[in-house]
Structure 1
Amino acid sequence: METFDVAVIGMGALGSAAAYHLARKGVSVVAFEQFELGHVRGASHDTSRILRTSYGAPQYVRLAQSAYKDWADFEEVAGETFVTVTGGLIFIPTDGPYASSDFTTSLDAEGVPYELLSPADVHARWPQFTLPENVETVYTADTGIVPASRSVAALQLHARFNGAVIRDRTAVERLTPDDAGVVIHTSTGDVRAGKVVLATDAWTNTLLEPLGAAIPLEIMQEQVTYFKPAAPDDYAREVFPVWIWEDEFCYYGFPTYGEPTIKAARDKSDNLMSPADRTYVPSPELLEQLSGFMAATIPGSGEVLRTVTCQYAITPDRNFVLGPLDEYPDIIVALGAGHAFKFTPAIGRILAELAVDGDTSDDISTFRPPSRTGAPAASPFPASF
């Protein structure tokens, strides 16, 4: 039986980052992906993701600060630019469930500068937006965009360059922990590893349920839509920021990025379906809802060009799960709850540190699997992109 120091299961963003950081640490790594690399069945494909420190919980602000450093480190290693800074706006209706103080308190605690803006302030600087008078806005200058598919492919390339063995189209069928680590039973044979990093998102419980260690998850199909504005230069990243609308329904969007379109979506649409039952067909109702919001808030957004689907695996409180299982400490779980991409290189580093060093310098105490016990906590933030 082949033996490795660490096996990574799932080669989306988090698994690819873990494989990269593990290989950089010089340990022997094997990584498995049940589909082809770069597939569109999960949550790590398409063009862009938001990078921001503007979270309503200090632990996420701190992790985002680490992520900015880890993105910069990976840019230096790869010789590529991944981070595009645009500035970012968070719109918060005063009659909704959230307040600007939910964000500013966390930003103040971690020393992140921001501005509080009125609707008139926003319109003066970004006349593309039309806001009701009851909207508070938090602006953070450090917000930006990172590429999705391109950065995942780069992490896989550099994982291989540093010695990782990546086996795509290889399904992991079950895990057998024992005193010497974990046996990974795959569609092409068995492999032993001292530690396993489980980064399988919506497929996590397929492997955890037989061990009696399932994590509560809701699986849903999400969708993002690209709009074609008549004047795309008005939405270029030099003049138009990333934006997030925080209310009962949460929306988010981007400036133009690689093409003359602007991307927008509703977050957590509750379009529930299992991976096996996914239709990959966008919901007309959700598209109509988003189109109405865009017409009211960004009147120049233009006609719908295309809609792309993805998949969320959501924990009850929307918090991450990062760390070893209590019952099986050689199995390290990585669940991003639908908003982890921005943290990708930091989470990959943390997972590698947990697997090799047994601990990490980042505070992940609120993310460890033992904290999942008991009643789910109320989510400290709604947005997840």
Structure 2
Amino acid sequence: MTVHIGMETFDVVVVGLGGLGSAAAWHLAESGLRVLGLDQFALGHDRGASHDTSRILRHSYHRPDYVRLTRAAYDDWDHAERAAGERFVTRTGGLDLCPPGSALPLSDYSVSLDAEGIGYEMFDADGVRERWPQIVIPDGTTALYQERTSIVPAARSTAAFQRLAVAAGAVLSGEEPVTAVRRQRDGVRVTTPRGTYSAGHVVLCTDSWANTLLRPLGWEIPLTVLEEQVTYFEPAEPDRFAPGAFPVWIWLDDPSFYGFPTYGEPTVKAGQDCGGPQASPDTRSGETDPRMLDVLSRFMRERFPASGRPVRSKRCLYTLTPDRDFVLGPVPGADRVLLGLGAAHAFKFAPTFGRLLAGLVRDPALASAEPCAAFRPDRPALTDPAHPVNWMT
């Protein structure tokens, strides 16, 4: 629903109401602050990265600090479930598959899990074939299985965060694009075609559109935007791919692929990570890419031959930093403007991002503490033009 506010003052204005921004609006309003949330499109739109059905929630990560953050993510999803009175987390187990000569060493994952005391099982190729005969893999493949890997719903949980925010007192307005964010002596001023709002802080969760509002503040982040594609396949025997019989999986190589068991319908969803063309968020095609569909379909026929024929595809945006780490913290030179950017792997952390951004509004010192310190907007990967690009997670 579109709400006309006119000239008003808020404690915080949240710009961008995808998963991260909606969770931030909820946590901020829950803490007693007066919150306005704005999105340039209708609430629940599919032009960003928080739509469609499913995302992966997992402990398995390549660095111990990320593994620590996943502990918080599971706790925060539990809090969201209790607050919303809905179930969001569907446990499936997760399998990281590492073929011979992989570009992503599986040891990075096992060492990180070991450092945080999280259990897992290791399998060789024969062990994978025996436990999951749906998977065809080459000899020499190794695999890591983590039993707590789960699916969380993207569009449904984003809508729940928005309902929770409104119930806590936030005002959310769709189809109201922000045209300017300006520093003031005692806060920030936000301008839209409908009015100007004054706030103590602004939280930007604008993903692919981030630099549009950052540049006038004197800051810019080197971002690459890709238009990705996921495809749903229809197995002849969907029970073989149901949760409990089949896990979430990630193919750790370059190119990297990932997929899900059946979820809400008798299809399996899969995609290539960072396989799409560069795009502008305002000129994305939204149409099925035949080349990407062919690459993924060939992989699925080779590795998951019983997954069936492709029945539909869906496009989304990946907004990538050079190191593929998050951006979380105050904008240099404009410390009342906070930035939350997920680098195309943050939906699993959505309620955690919301909690952390709300914490930064209340206590700026948290920007120098873990986990925010590692994701600061002025880190070398975002300020050194010569910093190497690595999108593998």
> Is the TM-score greater than 0.5?
yes
Uncovered stretches (5+) of structure 2, i.e. residues with no partner: 1-6
Which residue type is aligned with residue 255 of structure 1? Answer: P
Question: Partner of 1:370: helix, strand, or coil?
Answer: coil
Query: In 2 relative to 1, CA 378–272 (structure 1 residues): closer, same or farther, beyond 3 Å?
Result: closer
Any idea what SS the aligned residue of 1:350 has? helix
- Residues 218-274 of structure 1: CA distance to partner in whole angstroms, max 9, x if unpaired? 111111000000000100012110000011101000000000000000011141110
Q: C-alpha deviations, 1:151-209, integer Å up to 9, x for none?
A: 00000001000000101110100111122111001111100110110000000011111
Partner of 1:350: 356
Supply the distance in 2 between the matched residues of 1:109 and 1:144 (Cα, whole angstroms). 21
- 2:320 maps to 314
Aligned residue among 365, 369, 375 for 2:373: 365
Give % identity.
49
Distance in 2 (CA, whole Å) between partners of 1:116 and 1:189 is: 57
Give the structure 2 partner of residue 208 of structure 1.
214
Secondary structure, aligned partner of 2:361 = helix
CA distance in 2, matches of 1:376, 1:81: 41
Whether 1:243 aligns to 2:265 is no
C-alpha distance in structure 2 between counterparts of 1:378 and 1:277, whole Å? 24
Q: Is the 8 A contact 1:350 1:362 kept in 2?
A: no
Q: How does 1:145-184 map to 2 (within 5 A)?
A: 145-184=151-190
* Aligned counterpart, 1:294: 300
Maintained 8 Å contact 1:63/1:362: no
CA spacing shift, 1:253–1:155, aligned 2, 3 Å: same
Among candidates 130, 135, 143, match of residue 129 of structure 1: 135
Shift of 1:376: 2.9
Pairwise CA RMSD: 1.2
Question: What letter is aligned with 2:383?
Answer: T
**Could you report, residue by residue, the CA deviation over 1:355-381 in whole angstroms, capped at 9, with x for unpaired residues?**
1222447522110112133243564x7
Q: Report the Cα distance in structure 1 between the residues aligned to 2:157 and 2:62, rounded to whole angstroms.
A: 26
> More deviation in 155-164 or 352-361?
352-361
Report the secondary structure of 1:90's partner residue: strand
Q: Is the 2:219–2:332 contact (alpha carbons within 8 Å) kept by the matching residues of 1?
A: no
Task: Establish whether residue 41 from structure 1 lines up as the match of residue 47 from structure 2.
Answer: yes
SS at 1:65 equivalent: helix
What is aligned with 2:278? 272
Distance 1:303 1:56 in 2: 33
For 1:214, what is the secondary structure of its paired residue?
Answer: coil
The corresponding residue for 1:376 is 387
Residues 119 and 132, structure 1, Cα contact 8 Å, conserved in 2 = yes
1:340 correspondence with 2:351: no
Q: How far apart are 1:343 and its partner, in Å? A: 0.4
Q: Within 1, Cα distance between the matches of 2:142 and 2:389?
A: 22
Partner Cα distance (1:36, 1:322) in 2: 25
Contact 2:276-2:292 within 8 A present in 1 as well = no
Paired residues in the alignment total: 382
**Aligned equivalents of 2:296, 2:365: Cα separation in 1:** 43
C-alpha contact (below 8 Å) 1:95/1:134 kept by paired residues: no
**Mapped partners of 2:138, 2:304: distance in 1:** 12
The residue type paired with residue 221 of structure 2 is: I
Distance in 2, matches of 1:362 and 1:112, equals: 19
Give 1:100 shift.
1.3
Instruction: Select 2:19's aligned residue among 13, 35, 41.
Output: 13
Pairwise CA distance, 1:212: 2.0
Checking the alignment, whether the CA contact within 8 Å between 2:96 and 2:252 is kept in structure 1 is: yes
Alignment of 1:262 onto 2:268? yes
CA separation of 1:222 and 1:270: change in aligned 2, threshold 3 A: closer
**Matching residue of 1:222:** 228
Q: Secondary structure at the match of 1:71?
A: helix
Q: What CA distance in whole angstroms lies between the structure 2 residues aligned with 1:359 and 1:291?
A: 48
**Any conservation in 2 of the 1:227–1:303 contact (CA below 8 Å)?**
yes
Structure 1: any 5+ residue segments left out of the alignment? Answer: none
Corresponding position: 1:142 with 2:133: no
TM-score, normalising length: structure 1? 0.97
Residue 96 of structure 1 and its aligned partner are, at CA, apart by 2.1
Distance 1:359 1:105 in 2: 31
Paired residues of 2:35 and 2:171 also in contact (CA < 8 A): yes
Counterpart contact for 1:353–1:359, Cα < 8 Å: no
Q: Which residue of 2 aligns with 1:70?
A: 76
Q: TM-score by structure 2 length? A: 0.95
Report the secondary structure of 1:247's partner residue: coil
> 1:77, CA displacement in angstroms?
1.0
| 1:302 Cα deviation from its structure 2 partner | 0.2
Tell me, what secondary structure is at the counterpart of 2:374?
coil
Distance in 2, matches of 1:229 and 1:11, equals 35
Partner AA of 2:186 in structure 1: A
